[in-house]
Amino acid sequence: MAYLLKTIYRSSRLGTLYYSRYRSTNPQRIVYSEEVSQAKLDGKPIVALESTIITHGMPYPKNLQTALQVEQIIREKGATPATVAILKGQLTVGLTKEQLEYLAQSKNAVKASRRDLAPVAAAGLDGATTVAGTIIAAELADIPIFVTGGIGGVHREGEKTLDVSADLNELGRSKTLVVCSGVKSILDIGRTLEYLETQGVCVCSYGDSNDFPAFYTPRSGYRASNRVADARQAAQLLFSAHTLQLQSGIVIAVPIPKEYAMDEKVIEEAIQLALEEAKKKGIQGKEITPFILAAVAKATGGSSLEANMALIKNNAKVGAEIAVEFKKLNNVNNPNVKFLKNKKDKLKSTAVKSGNDVLVIGGANVDRTYSVTEDHVKLDGSTHPCTTLQCAGGVGRNIAEILWRLQRGKTRLLTAIGDDADGCYLLDNIPGLIIEDSIVEGGRTPSYAAVLDANGECQLGLGDMALYDHITIDLYSLSQRIKEKQ
């Protein structure tokens, strides 16, 4: 008993020390919305969305309406939307309705590609991420699927001007699957496809045809090198790419719905007029695409804008379906998930029943101690011989263990652990102690590591406690429902 109480005190002291230091010294590279943060903790599928389409692609209030509708479509399909932007210098993944409205009305948001991210962040400005900028954020946030309207590419006469979108290079060095309606038809589609091939990007048409779409129209006159028939096949393609550890992206080109497709001649005439006007006014670089899109919308009486809105909504539906299928594939092929499925079946027979007097809510983690056997510990990258000890820890878990032993098993623990190897370890430590609702799919089980010198003094502590954020008032509400069933 004395040993267990000492363990509780030590875990509490070290955990509190770590958490306060973490909060005060760890810079926030990315700020997540509450919705996205919860989805990551729950292991739910997430779909990234760009924000340039809001600030530079559509006028207000059409841009806001479309953004909200796109997000809702993704939710209805079982995934979580994560619109990416830079707000006052902070890279943000997942925007609230208020933030979307702020961005939709902004006149000063910088169109932010790779080259712009650091300057915009350093200056504390607002930035709308392009395809390239969003891919970078999605990679940092570990979100493998991204939906947009159309990707950038080689501009017309790009062989003379060398005006090539940074989107293409980013696709060549990311692991992201991008769902789009092909390349914007204002660009040189043929040269863009050649460039993507050189970058090692897998380009697939979506549906029953290999025709590569041209944004406003379902056919560009070019054919994709690959084709996927549905979301399941697209997810399998992404899964295979990740299994092979390919460091290049995938483009899934979805044709615009037939009822919104525009006449090829009409749209081409409008594009040519817009290009001539841009040339006369000397508009170039990252300003040319928004200018041409606006000019084409004006020339077509707004029908191109309606087509743009329709295709991005359709892409959102497809992207969400792919994300859901990809999550299923990950679960099926994850040995820890298979183990935990069997574990959950066993847990159902040991879950809280009548006669279990105590339900503990609190943290559980795996503690590892590395005791260096040399006289001095040097934090210079050198390797030190040591002995290693691993045990189950966490203040809540330790208290639950004491009560479990005193009450001969009439105690259960409601906590937050991942469906990983450490989670399996904690479940096996005292079978039946941890309630099955504690398992967070896709989560990483909290852990703490202490480096001790030859005298047993702690020289360095490392804690991975992010999943503790899952222990909220909602977990308390769950505990009340569990107690009612006793």
Using alpha carbons, list the distances in angstroms from residue 58 to 103, 136, 304, 317, 418: 12, 23, 11, 20, 41
Decide: 289 and 152 in contact? Cβ < 8 Å: yes
Q: Which of 35, 40, 44, 50 is catalytic?
A: 50
184 is catalytic: yes
- 3-class state of residue 460 by DSSP: strand
Using alpha carbons, list the distances in angstroms from residue 337 to 298, 334, 372, 420: 53, 5, 35, 7
What is the longest distance spanned by two Cα atoms in the chain?
85
> Prior bond to 61 cis, omega within 30?
yes
- Kindly tell me the sign of the dihedral angle through the C-alpha atoms of 417, 419, 425, 427: positive
Q: Which of 111, 184, 286, 343 is catalytic?
A: 184
Burial of 456 (0-12, 13-18, 19+ CB in 10 A): exposed
Decide: 33 and 85 in contact? Cβ < 8 Å: no
CA 88 to chain CA centroid, nearest Å:
21
Using alpha carbons, list the distances in angstroms from residue 404 to 8, 151, 330, 340, 397: 15, 58, 35, 22, 10
423's tokens: 């989670």
- 3-class state of residue 142 by DSSP: coil
Residues sharing a CB contact under 8 Å with residue 204, sequence separation 6 or more, in sequence order: 224, 225, 226, 227, 228, 234, 237, 250, 251, 252, 253
Residue 322 amino acid letter: I
Distance CA 116, CA 396 (A): 45
Candidates 145, 133, 88, 94; CA nearest to 322 is 145
401 is catalytic: no
380's tokens: 């210079």
Distance CA 53, CA 63 (A): 7
Active site residues: 50, 184
